[in-house]
Structure 1
Amino acid sequence: MTTSYSPAVPPSEPDGPVRLKARRPSDLLAAVPFLLGFHPQESLVALFLESGRVRLTARYDLGDHLDLDVADLVDQHRPTGLVLVVYCADADRGRAALRDQAERLTDVDLVDLLLVDGERWWSLDRSTGCCPSEGNPYAPGDHPLSAEAVWAGLVARPDRAAVVATVGGPDEEEWAALGRLARPIRSRLARESRTARQDALGRAVVAALPHLEAGPAAGADEEGRAARVARLDDAACLELALLVRDTLVRDVACALVTREDAPRHLALWQQVVARTPPDLASAPLCLVGVAAWAGGNGTLLNACCERLAELDPRYPMGRLLSDVSRRALPPAWWDAMADGLRRDLGLGG
């Protein structure tokens, strides 16, 4: 079973998060892909409500069985209401999953139970009176709320695999050439003091951030967005990856991440991961994970944790981020951790 976490809506502007108003079940179904960052399939999605707003979104794989339980997160987060959505091509199997969860979740207000088979959707809550027996057409991309979300700069990738691919690193045939390029950089950095490397890391990050787009431009396609984002060359990416191999240098990069600027840090470290061979990837992946957590992108955090577990299951910060993901700790928790890091490093703030 895997889970993904996201806040109500990923923030797109420093002034505050985008607010999408969902008045009907069809509105909510159009919003779910933007809450997760991708269009779910064969999944159970739990929307945790507080005062009528979605505060937490968790996704579980249906897998080959229906042994699903969101009760642990309900106990932890204590929502005032819960909406469950099952995405399952086999509608009968999906209904069984929803009914099973409804029987287990007796201590929370189940606002609605929604079923999507890919072409139609149903509400199992008969009080809504919204669903004919044949269901309603499911076409979230045609819904006005979807257009509103895209215009606000939110992204919903085709599936979870597309999210995972963003932290997959360079193709295997590039590893040897990148390794050769890294050797003289590694040798040069080895001759520098830790303080000098910390300073170099801080300068590089601070210099790069103003040139990185904080979020997708409204209405732009991926190619158009990429053209407007400053691109680091391979040598710059490898130098950053080599710098953060030292834990105390990596901590400087972590300490610089704020919730307001998390999307820019994410854009920076995703570039580094995309050009870093596996033997250097763990630390940059952790920085992608930190920025994803601080920015409320639980799906990407989860993808980072999975790749870190493959590369080095004992990497301490990877294990910490996995715990954050498993417990669905909210981005606000990053504030206290970052403040502690800054104090330890003497960075102030």
Structure 2
Amino acid sequence: MTAQPSANDQPPIRITTPNELVSLIPYLIGHHPADSLVLLGCDATKVIVTVRLGLGDPTNAWAQIVPNLARSGVITGHLVGYGSAARVGPHIDTAHAALTLNDIASSAPVRVEHGRIYATGTGAGPGDLASSHADEGVRVDPHTAAAARAVVEGMVALPSRDAIHTLVAPTGPAEQAAMRSAVARARSAGAPVTGEAAVQAADAAVTDALGSYRTGDRLTDDDVARLTLLLTDEQARDAVLARDEDDDASIALWTDVTRRADASLVAEPACILFVAAWLARRAPLAWAALDRARDAEPGHRLTRLLSAMVWNGISPDQLAEVLRRRRSDASHP
């Protein structure tokens, strides 16, 4: 099995043992997991999707998730549980059964607890766990070649899932008050515009903003206010989404705007951040952005649409194709 770094022009990271798999998972999901079951879905050569459910989530969720993975081209699944055998076991059993039911091959699931890897008894035991000491487990060695490659390629493993959500958390009370004032100034100046004028203004604003973030600068409060008001126009927002940009500057821009946006205007930039992060194969940041959009505006239509697309197994490449078609349709009315 191999895993592709965020930069797709780099050679894949090869994974050959359960320990290498366990050492790499924090980089694939963006944080060190706990009380979770992680499923890596692979095509014939590489990991194409990573799914993490908390042990507090209903086990029957796997019956919904796995068929969508099969439709997305997953042919092999690798399950790693984090926590006690009593808590991990029901999730592994249900997920493994769902893989089998959907004709997805599965390696033998393993469980991680207190820094050791254990065979679970579901399926055949992995080679480095099938020993007379299987009950004692095998110590996790985080310093594998796979983990080292992940670090070299710029992949990051934060301490916890909560740490990812802090990346998109709103700024403090003083900053939010300043942003409300900036939004009021923008409205007084005639924002937001709508229709084609909004599309052109948003495109120009994003182009200028990306130039700033590529040189280490950032938007002023007034810039953020004007941009987020432009995004309230659906045509303008969709045109920005269709730009199909996933580089570091795009992610830095939309992360910053998502954090600083007025609470009434945060859902649109958070959705754009989701798309940029998903295209860049930074799923944990993408999910955090979607959670931020959902919390800011429950029932937000685009947030519901993007959530449904992901739960139905859309891959970054498939999402990129959707955006390319939208761009093409927009240029040939």
Letter in 2 for 1:116: V
Residue 300 of structure 2: aligned partner: 315
Report the counterpart of residue 118 of structure 2 in structure 1.
Answer: 122
In the alignment, structure 1 residue 198 sits paired with structure 2 residue 199: yes
Structure 1 residue aligned with 2:221:
234
Other structure's SS at 1:242 match? helix
Distance 1:176 1:333, change over 3 A: same
Q: Which 10-residue stretch deviates more, 278-287 or 167-176? A: 167-176
Cα drift, residue 288 of structure 1: 0.7
Q: 1:91 to 1:279 in 2, by over 3 A?
A: same
For normalisation by structure 1, the TM-score amounts to 0.82
Are residue 31 (structure 1) and residue 29 (structure 2) matched?
Answer: no
State the match for 1:137 in structure 2: 139
1:282 paired with 2:267, answer: yes
Q: Report if aligned partners of 1:118, 1:138 keep a CA contact under 8 Å in 2.
A: no
Q: Which amino acid aligns with 2:88?
A: G
Q: What's the RMSD between the two structures over aligned residues?
A: 2.7
Q: CA deviation at 1:287?
A: 0.8
Match in the other structure for 2:76: 81
Q: Hey, what's the Cα distance between the residues in 1 that align with 2:325 and 2:127?
A: 51
> Distance between the aligned counterparts of 1:315 and 1:139, measured in 2?
43
Question: Do 1:11 and 1:18's aligned partners in 2 also have CA atoms closer than 8 Å?
Answer: no
Taking only the aligned residue pairs, the percentage that are identical comes to 28
Unaligned stretches of 5+ residues in structure 1: 1-6, 214-227
Aligned residues: 322
Q: Which runs of 5+ in 2 are unaligned?
A: none
Within 2, Cα distance between the matches of 1:65 and 1:266? 32
In the TM superposition, what is the alpha-carbon distance from 1:190 to its structure 2 partner? 2.9
Distance 1:187 1:341, change over 3 A: farther
Contact kept in structure 2, 1:114 and 1:123, CA below 8 Å: yes
1:37 and 1:299 in contact (8 A); partners too? yes
Equivalent residues of 1:18, 1:152 under 8 A apart:
no
CA distance in 1, matches of 2:11, 2:199: 35
Could you tell me how far 1:46 is from its partner in structure 2? 0.8
Give the aligned residue type for 1:122.
Answer: Y
- After TM superposition, give the deviation of residue 306 of structure 1 in Å: 2.2
Partner of residue 222, structure 1: none
Task: Write the mapping of 1:107-186 to structure 2, written as runs, cut at 5 A.
Answer: 107-124=103-120, 126-131=124-129, 132=133, 133-140=135-142, 142-186=143-187
The answer on whether the counterparts of 1:238 and 1:275 sit within 8 Å (CA) in structure 2 is no
Closer, same or farther in 2 for the Cα pair 1:41/1:189, shift >3 Å?
Answer: farther
Residues 242-266 of structure 1: CA deviation (Å, up to 9, x unaligned): 21111111122112124xx444322
Q: CA deviation at 1:53?
A: 1.8
Using the alignment, how far apart are the partners of 2:328 and 2:96 within structure 1? 46
Indicate how the Cα distance of structure 1 residues 155 and 173 shifts in structure 2: closer, same or farther if over 3 A, else same: same
Q: Secondary structure at the match of 2:108?
A: strand
Cα separation, 2, equivalents of 1:168 and 1:255? 25
Distance in 1 (alpha carbons) for counterparts of 2:227 and 2:326:
19
CA distance in 1, matches of 2:180, 2:252: 23
Give the letter aligned to residue 128 of structure 1: P
Relative to the length of structure 2, the TM-score reads: 0.86
| Bigger mean CA deviation after superposition, 191-200 or 161-170 | 191-200
1:124-164 CA distances to partner (integer Å, 9 max, x unpaired)? 45543312331122242x33432221111111111111112
Change (3 A) 1:61 1:104: same
Q: 1:201 offset after TM fit, Å?
A: 1.9
Distance change in 2, residues 1:279/1:84 (3 Å): same
